[in-house]
Structure formats: C-alpha cells, structure tokens
Amino acid sequence: MRCELVTWGEVYRLSRCLAEMIRQADFRPEVVVAIARGGYVPARILCDFLGIYNLVSIRIAHYESGAHITEQARLSSPLALDVRGLKVLLVDDVSDTGETLALAVKHIQSFAPAQLRLAVLHHKEVSPVIPDFFAKTIVKWRWLVYPWAVIEDLSSFVAGMSEHPDSAEETVCRLKAQHGIDVPLRTAEDVVVALRYQRNCPDAPRAPA
C-alpha cells in the first residue's frame, strides 16, 4: 500500500486554505460538525479561523483500526444538537470511498438544516462524493497517514507484516520498503513501544476510528 505522511504544518496550511475558500464563498456557518475521529482536528482549526464557537461531532465507524476497513460504514454516535434551520459545516479529513461522507450528509440532512456544506483537507478523485470545499486533490491514490493517527496507522502496518521487525531501525527500513514512507526513528520507537504495550495488555481497549 502506497502511503504519505502528512505533517502538522501541512494540516494547518490546508485548514487555513479551507477557511479562505469558505470565506470567499460567503458561507457563514453557525455550527461546525466534525466527523469523528479524523475530522476533530481540522474542524477545531476551522472554528478558530472562522470565529465559530459551536462545535459538535458525530461518529461514523468505517475503519476498525489503522487502515483495516470494515464491511460497511455505520453511524455509531448520532448528532446530539438540533441544527434545524441552521447553517452547518460538516468537516472530515479526507474523502476516499465516500461511504462515510454520504452517511454523514444523509444524517445531518435529516435534521433539516438551512444549509449544509462539506469540507475536507484532501479529496481523492476516486471518491464518488465531491465535497463543497477541499484544500488538496489526490489524483494518484495513496493512504494518508495524518499526524493524529500516525502511531495507530504505522502500528497497523507493522502488525500486518509476515515477519515483525526486531527493532526501531528495522521498522524504519521495512516501512520504507513496503509503503514508501520515511518514518523518523523516534516515531518508529514509539510504534515499537505501542505494539509491545498492546501485546502485554491483550485486553486493553482498541480505539476504533
């Protein structure tokens, strides 16, 4: 699987770009709805840029852990705010299969908002759902590893290897060879520690996406 590491600086830059697009479109949201968990950070940054206080979330479960996909997207935490008659900005990190976004849009529309717009940091051209606002287009598909999920995603990749790396140094080499990403040694060390912790605590809850 081809991957790309997205930095915190890139996230902030793309969020700033999104905010400018929203202002240029003269869309003035009254509430921002983040799609958990990927939409949390960009939604909060957009609130900061746009001066919006009302931030809530819904949760769509689609990826079990890291890059492992469940069969079908499902709404696990519905909207807890009545947005009837309000202008709503729905935010996620990326448009990919489109299932998560389509379900989220359908759910929000059931509340009869005055307006609903969708914003993502990255829009993959394979997605059947085209957001109203997106800061960057991904033409050649790749898995995007966001900084808030880097340990989770990389741990998932390493755990799926036929032979697990014995060290952080080997982890760096294997991730480069198999996924084309240059992982800092310190990050690889964190991955090794996370996997060791999970093996030693088999009953520890795994945070779903």
Q: Which of 120, 36, 114 is nearest to 75 (CA)?
A: 36
Q: Which of 7, 5, 38, 2 is nearest to 142 (CA)?
A: 2
DSSP line for 168-204:
HHHHHHHHHHHH-----HHHHHHHHHHHHHHHH-TTS
Helix axes 185-200 and 150-159, enclosed angle (nearest 10): 70
pLDDT at residue 61, rounded to an integer: 83
109-134: per-residue pLDDT in tens?
A: 999 999 999 999 999 999 999 999 99
Q: 124 pairs with which residues across the strands?
A: 138
Backbone angles phi, psi at 178, to 5 degrees: -90, -25
**Domains in the chain: boundaries:** 3-138, 147-200
pLDDT at residue 157, rounded to an integer: 94
pLDDT at residue 43, rounded to an integer: 98
pLDDT at residue 149, rounded to an integer: 96
Which CATH number applies to 3-138?
A: 3.40.50.2020
Assign 69 to helix, strand or coil: strand
pLDDT at residue 196, rounded to an integer: 87
pLDDT at residue 183, rounded to an integer: 95
Cis-peptide into 186, omega within 30 deg? no
pLDDT tens string, the chain, 209 residues long: the values are 899 999 999 999 999 999 999 999 999 999 999 999 999 999 999 999 999 999 999 999 865 544 555 557 889 999 999 999 999 999 999 999 999 999 999 999 999 999 999 999 999 999 999 999 999 999 999 999 999 999 999 999 999 998 889 899 999 999 999 999 999 999 999 999 999 888 787 555 444 44
CA dihedral sign of residues 28, 34, 35, 38:
positive
57-80: per-residue pLDDT in tens?
A: 999 986 554 455 555 788 999 999
pLDDT at residue 207, rounded to an integer: 43
pLDDT at residue 203, rounded to an integer: 53
